[in-house]
Amino acid sequence: MTTWLVILNVAILLVFIIGLIYMQKKHISFSKRVFTALGLGIVFGFALQFIYGPTDEVVVKSSDWINLVGGGYVKFLQMIVMPLVFISILSAFTKLKLSNNIGKISTLIIGLLIGTTAIAAAVGIASAVGFNLESIQITQGDAELARGDMLEQKNLEVEGKTLPQQMLELLPSNPFLDLTGARPTSTISVVIFSAFLGMAYLGVRRKSPEQADLFAKIVDAFYTIIMRVVTIILRLTPYGVLAIMTRTVATSDIDAILKLGKFVLASYAALIVMFLIHLLLLTIAGLNPVTYVKKVFPVLTFAFTSRTSAGALPLNIKTQKSLGVPEGIANFAGSFGLSIGQNGCAGIYPAMLAVMIAPTVGIDPLSPSFIATVIAVVAISSFGVAGVGGGATFAAILVLSALNLPVALAGLLISIEPLIDMGRTALNVSGSMTSGILTSRITGEIDSNIYNDMKEKIEAEA
């Protein structure tokens, strides 16, 4: 009986996929298809949850099959991330888009990422205090204790590293290893390696123009192929979103979420406030925030459902270009944003945890010195946070360890971690795009006509 029910659930998913294919053939916009997929996934996920329960064998086995679509889509995106980061940065040099002001652009992007992360930490602290969150309010079950033990083990791996040692980890000692994404800081290392190759190209171009031209043509050919692969993968977005959302909702522990409702509300209140701050910064820069929201909806929807900033990189770069950001700046902002200054995972989350845990060791979380220390530590620790699953955990370990707070208590929120992580990831991506847009505005390189043209959206290519 179980097998037939699993087949039925998979068949229903296939019917939804066929419906999305039909919408595409009818030339219905990319955003509407993504939104439809999101809605169908939520409804179907709740239906499975209501009929069977999140831990039922039927749901577990159905989720495995459904994950072929959702997990497969995420793997395709992750597959293209490192090649895209590498060739995009290198292409920015060969196309002479960053040769004159690369130092200024890099400084602005990193400064905005770190600055907004510091603001995000302050917002996280305010939310935790406003909702009166304390770790002692959470019951520790077997799952929470196991998570705490795991965090303690991870803490041993990073404990004792000084700030200079952590910064040294960002540099590429073996670029071929980093191209595999083997380290949490691999992305930023690939960016640095690509920048070195780009600067070497500029030097060769002055002395041996013919060789430089040949190299530029090779890079351009690879870039064209990689971007074509990106386009092909992005066309799968509605189907990936449908499957990911179905599986997430169907397997979520609703009872645990309801019990920890206050923590969920506090987290999303902070995330929403920080997103509004992004919009405020764009408004101050003289850009229409409503246009921004409309154009970034598809990429934020994907980031929300997939919980991977790295997987969202192709959509991130394309969206920035649809907002008038030059290709080189979009590549830098998107790539740097994967490992530096993630507003949600490296800003709000560790700051909230610090405030929740501080009372357990006799620290007053409202102390001005403690608040200032948390914000400073969060901003500094936001270097090198991985843009894949687990990045928030890594950030929390770094911050709590630096503040001498018990790392294991960060495991108390494991039951609602996936739900909170969805919003955090979307905010990470928004912060990355905001830094690219503001950098373009400050340097005077943004194309305001493209920014305001609603026809210039990623669905035109997807």
Average pLDDT value over all residues in the chain:
82
For residues 73 and 154, the model is more confident at 73
**Mean pLDDT across the stretch 394-410?**
71
Task: Report whether pLDDT(426) > 50.
Answer: yes
For residues 168 and 293, the model is more confident at 293
For residues 115 and 153, the model is more confident at 115
What is the CA angle 89-93-94, rounded to 5? Answer: 115
Q: How high is the pLDDT of residue 125? A: 92
Burial class (CB in 10 A: 0-12, 13-18, 19+), 364: exposed
Token pair listed for 194: 């690509």
Question: How far, in Å, CA of 372 to CA of 68, rounded?
Answer: 46
Task: Report whether pLDDT(398) > 80.
Answer: no
pLDDT digits (tens, 9 = 90+) for 277-334: 999 999 999 999 999 999 998 889 888 877 778 778 888 988 999 999 988 888 888 8
Q: How high is the pLDDT of residue 435? A: 95
Task: Report whether pLDDT(147) > 60.
Answer: no
How many of the other CB atoms lie within 10 Å of CB of 21? Answer: 13
Q: How high is the pLDDT of residue 118? A: 93
Nearest to 313 by CA among 180, 195, 222, 428: 428
Residues of the chain with pLDDT > 90: what percent? 24
Confidence label for 148 from pLDDT (cuts 50, 70 and 90): very low
Residues of the chain with pLDDT > 70: what percent? 84
Lowest mean pLDDT among 9-18, 89-98, 265-274: 89-98
Task: Report whether pLDDT(28) > 80.
Answer: yes
CATH number of 2-460: 1.10.3860.10
* 350 within 8 A of 402, measured Cβ to Cβ: no
**Mean pLDDT across the stretch 26-54?**
85
**Mean pLDDT across the stretch 111-118?**
93
For residues 212 and 277, the model is more confident at 277
pLDDT digits (tens, 9 = 90+) for 86-109: 888 888 788 765 555 777 888 899
Greatest mean pLDDT among 54-58, 307-311, 329-333, 440-444 lies in 440-444
* 219 within 8 A of 94, measured Cβ to Cβ: yes
* 354 within 8 A of 124, measured Cβ to Cβ: no
For residues 401 and 41, the model is more confident at 41
Q: How high is the pLDDT of residue 27? A: 85
Please give the distance of CA 12 from its chain centroid, rounded to a whole number. 30
pLDDT digits (tens, 9 = 90+) for 325-384: 988 888 888 888 877 878 988 889 888 888 888 887 788 888 888 899 889 888 887 775
Q: How high is the pLDDT of residue 122? A: 94
Task: Report whether pLDDT(139) > 70.
Answer: no
Cα dihedral sign, 39-40-45-51: positive
Confidence label for 138 from pLDDT (cuts 50, 70 and 90): low
- Secondary-structure breakdown of the chain: helix, strand, coil percentages, each rounded to the nearest 5: 80, 0, 20
Q: How high is the pLDDT of residue 144? A: 45
* 267 within 8 A of 348, measured Cβ to Cβ: yes
Question: How far, in Å, CA of 84 to CA of 80, rounded?
Answer: 6
Lowest mean pLDDT among 2-6, 55-59, 138-142: 138-142
**Mean pLDDT across the stretch 264-269?**
91
Task: Report whether pLDDT(76) > 50.
Answer: yes
